[in-house]
Amino acid sequence: MRIGIVGAGVAGLVAAYRLSQEGHEVDVYERWPGLGGQGATLDVGDGVLLERYYHHWFTSDRHIVDLWNELELGPIEWQPSSMAFFVDGKSRAFTTPLDLLKFSPLPLLDRIKMGLTVLRLQRAGKPVEAYEHETAHEWIVREMGERPWTKIWGPLLRAKFGSRAQDISMAWLWGKLTMRRRLEGKEARKELLGYPMPNFEPLYVALRDRIEANGGRVMIDRPAARISKDLVITPGAPQSFRRGLDPREFEPEGEGERYDSILATVPNDVFLELLDDDAREALAPGYTDKLQSIEYHTAFVLLLELDRQFSPFYWTNVADPSLPFIGLIEHTNFISPAHYGGRRFLYVSNYLEPHEELLTLGPDELLSHYEAGLRKVNPAFSKEWVKNRWLFREPAGQPIVTVGYPERIPPLETGVPGLLLANTTQIYPEDRGTNYAVRLGEDAARRLRALTPA
Ligand SMILES: Cc1cc2nc3c(=O)[nH]c(=O)nc-3n(C[C@H](O)[C@H](O)[C@H](O)COP(=O)(O)OP(=O)(O)OC[C@H]3O[C@@H](n4cnc5c(N)ncnc54)[C@H](O)[C@@H]3O)c2cc1C
């Protein structure tokens, strides 16, 4: 049977691969002239590939690690994580329980209480539903006090959810804290982070090659411009990506192709814009409201190539609100610069509301805007250290998981017979990530299979 898949990110490629393995004829449409979606790489020069947005795996990320191994794609490098908080004018290590005990911005009693509260939560073994009715802010202030929120949890959530940190559901934080707890033995004692060597690209290439070997097509720079109720995908002309994300801006090209079923893996707003009027009307009652009720924040990430090391840490949460960015991720403190011919890379991260003015800045203006903040973290920093810079914006970078989120999640089945949607808003209560994109892609393939006999 013929299946059309919109999006060649991890979810779309995995679904297409599984379906093609069973003899279905799959076509993948991708707007961007490359594979991997939010996990895509760029050539930073000399053929060296690096992800546009910082990426690592946790040891609990079994789905993607299993897939990587199934595809026989070389080693995964596992390294101890090294995390810090920049607070009260200084970066302070924050990786081990001992770091927590030494974390002087919090009084000792607060530190002990905080550690015990986290342990209690992990041991309570309650289901996620027990944490869905309140915000993480309310829970933390009640269980640990105001200071741990101000100095630690608020900044941690701000690093993910920007201005909406205070509204995030406790269920989301519960997912983060209990996920690690499920690890046993050595894994639970020391957190390791994983990175596929030499980068994420071989995963996308291997999936594409296998889909094509199984008779499918993976078409990059070939967006879907329209989806109709009778399951026709009308493609947009090449180079449509230059017109942005809204498919209504793309020049439709040709008659379109009819499929037995379609899986869209695009963000909620893009999905709605893809549907023609009849398809929109055929959505299940309340489906459009669900799609529109979930907010996203834009990931706005400046990638710098530096001529020297910036800090000793891989991941620095910026807990000082006077700094205009929320995280510093020094990739080459995780993966050795030796893998990049001695070159060093630092991501300066922000999550912003869609209309924030900062998003209008170009890379050089943004670097100037960030310069004083970077110097607060490392007083020796100078723009002369910067050899190259790239700036990336992902409008659907982070779904905002507020109280009541589960009721807003759109089901994969859209109500239009044969049309499914699978995207990051459906990852819950875990944090969205490539691992869960694999799980989602496989789940979508299972559901499509049920609709569509081979
Ligand atoms: C800043 C940042 C840091 C992250 N860090 C990590 C990390 O450390 N570890 C981790 O595992 N994950 C991380 N993630 C998350 C991870 O990248 C995503 O969860 C995952 O890649 C989502 O995959 P997806 O296939 O669901 O969606 P996407 O990757 O968004 O794929 C959707 C695809 O649809 C395409 N598309 C859009 N419109 C059209 C159209 N009209 N026609 C055809 N195609 C279209 C897009 O171009 C895209 O390729 C991070 C994400 C960001 C933004």
CA-nearest of 413, 453, 392 to 41 is 392
What pLDDT band is residue 159 in, cutting at 50, 70 and 90? confident
Is residue 209, in this structure, part of any structural domain at all? yes
Residue 241, pLDDT score = 95
CATH of the domain at 178: 1.10.3110
Pocket test for ligand 1, best of 62, 249, 266 (most atoms within 8 A of CB): 266
The response to whether residue 31 sits with its C-beta less than 6 Å from ligand 1 reads yes
pLDDT at 179: 74
360/407 same-domain check? no
C-alpha pair distances (Å), 436 with each of 46, 284, 443, 444: 32, 25, 10, 12
The domain boundary residue, chosen from 151, 171, 190:
190
For position 96, what pLDDT does the model report?
86
173 Cβ contact partners less than 8 Å away, ≥ 6 residues apart: 131, 136, 139, 153, 157
| 207 C-beta closer than 6 A to ligand 1 | no
Q: How far is the CA of 287 from the centre of ligand 1 (A)?
A: 22
220 and 256 co-located in one domain? yes
Instruction: Give me the residue label for tokens 């299940």.
Output: 284
372 and 316 both lie in a single domain:
yes
Could you tell me if the CB of 194 is within 6 A of ligand 1?
no
pLDDT at 411 over 90: yes
Alpha helices in 2-103 (DSSP H): 10-21, 62-70, 97-101
Identity (one letter) of the amino acid at 250? F
Domain CATH number, residue 342: 3.90.660.20
Q: The whole model's pTM is what? A: 0.96
Q: Are residues 47 and 127 in the same domain?
A: no
User: What is the C-alpha separation between 401 and 420, in angstroms, rounded?
Assistant: 22
**DSSP string over 265-280:** -S-HHHHHHHB-HHHH
Does residue 415 sit in the same domain as residue 267? yes
Element of type H or E holding 389: strand 386-399
- The pLDDT of residue 86 is 95
Taking the CA of residue 411 as centre, how many other CA atoms within 13 Å lie in the half-sphere pointing to its CB? 11
DSSP H helices in 306-422: 363-377, 405-408
Comparison of pLDDT for 246 and 98, the residue scoring more: 246
* Cα of 271 from ligand 1 centre, angstroms: 14
CA separation for the pair 415, 281 (Å, rounded) = 10
3-state secondary structure 237-254: CCCHHHHCCCHHHCCECC
173 and 321 together in one domain: no
The Cα–Cα gap between 360 and 365 comes to 10
User: Is 429 strand, coil or helix?
Assistant: coil
pLDDT value, residue 445 = 98
Residue 9 Cα to ligand 1 middle (Å): 6
Q: Ligand 1 pocket check: which of 62, 335, 347, 434 to mutate, most ligand atoms within 8 Å of Cβ?
A: 434
Domain that holds residue 164: 96-190
Taking residues 333-357, what's their average pLDDT? 96
Domain-embedded: residue 64: no
Stretch 6-20: mean pLDDT: 98
Location of structure tokens 């999640």: 409
Domain count, the chain: 3
Mean pLDDT over the full length of the chain: 95
- Do 335 and 408 fall into the same domain? no
**Ligand 1 contact, 159 CB (< 6 A):** no
Does any domain span residue 438?
Answer: yes
Structure token pair of residue 384 = 């002369």
Q: In angstroms, what is the span from residue 17 Cα to ligand 1's centroid? A: 17
Last residue in a domain, options 399, 414, 436: 399
186 plus 117 within the same structural domain: yes
* Each residue's pLDDT tens digit, 186-226: 555 578 999 999 999 999 999 999 999 999 999 999 999 99
Report the distance separating Cα 134 and Cα 246, nearest Å: 35
Average the pLDDT over each of 80-94, 151-165, 185-199, 256-270 and give the range with the smallest value.
Answer: 185-199
Q: Is 394 in the pocket of ligand 1 (CB under 6 A)?
A: yes
Pairing of strands 25-29, 217-219: parallel
- Tell me how far the alpha carbon of residue 39 lies from the centroid of ligand 1, in angstroms: 6
Which residue in the block uniquely carries the two structure tokens 């009720």?
293
Asked whether residue 180 carries a pLDDT value surpassing 60, the answer given is no
pLDDT at 181: 45
First to last CA, the chain: 6
pLDDT above 60: residue 20: yes
299 CB within 6 A, ligand 1: yes
Instruction: Taking residues 221-233, report their average pLDDT.
Output: 98
Where does residue 212 rank: exposed (0-12), middle (13-18), buried (19+ CB within 10 A)? middle
User: Is 266's C-beta closer than 6 angstroms to any atom of ligand 1?
Assistant: yes
210 and 168 housed in the same domain: no
Q: Range with the lowest mean pLDDT among 20-29, 177-186, 443-452? A: 177-186
Q: What is the structure's pLDDT at 214?
A: 98
Tell me which residue of 319, 271, 298 sits closest to 420, measured CA to CA: 271
Domain boundary (399, 419, 435) is at 399
pLDDT score of 183 more than 90: no
Q: What is the mean pLDDT of residues 99-104?
A: 89
pLDDT number for residue 160? 85
Testing ligand 1's pocket by substitution, the residue of 14, 18, 38 carrying the most ligand atoms inside 8 A of its CB is 38
- List, in sequence order, every beta strand (DSSP E) within 112-269: 192-196, 217-219, 224-227, 232-235, 257-258, 261-264
- Give the largest Cα separation in the chain, rounded: 69
Q: Picking from 140-149, 166-175, 186-195, which range would have the lowest pLDDT averaged per residue?
A: 186-195
Q: Please report the DSSP string for 83-151 in residue order.
A: EEEEETTEEEE-SSHHHHHT-TTS-HHHHHHHHHHHHHHHHH---GGGGTTSBHHHHHHHHT-HHHIII
Percentages helix, strand, coil for the chain (3-state, rounded to 5) are: 40, 25, 35
How does pLDDT run across 240-296, given as a tens digit for each residue?
999 999 999 999 998 899 999 999 999 999 999 999 999 999 999 999 999 999 999
d(CA 198, CA 335): 10
Return the pLDDT at 453: 56
Report if residue 91 sits inside a domain. Answer: yes
Q: Per-residue pLDDT tens for 305-320? A: 999 999 999 999 999 9
Residue 83 sits in the same domain as residue 118: no
Q: Is residue 69 part of a domain?
A: no
Q: Is the per-residue pLDDT at 69 higher than 80?
A: yes
Which band of pLDDT confidence, cut at 50, 70 and 90, is reported for residue 450?
confident
d(CA 378, CA 435): 34
Do 276 and 410 lie in one domain? The reply is yes
63 belongs to a structural domain: no
Q: What is the pLDDT of residue 189?
A: 59
Over range 319-344, report the average pLDDT. 96
User: Residue 248's domain is classified under what CATH number?
Assistant: 3.50.50.60
Same domain, 244 and 264: yes
124 in any annotated domain? yes
CA 390 from centre of chain:
18
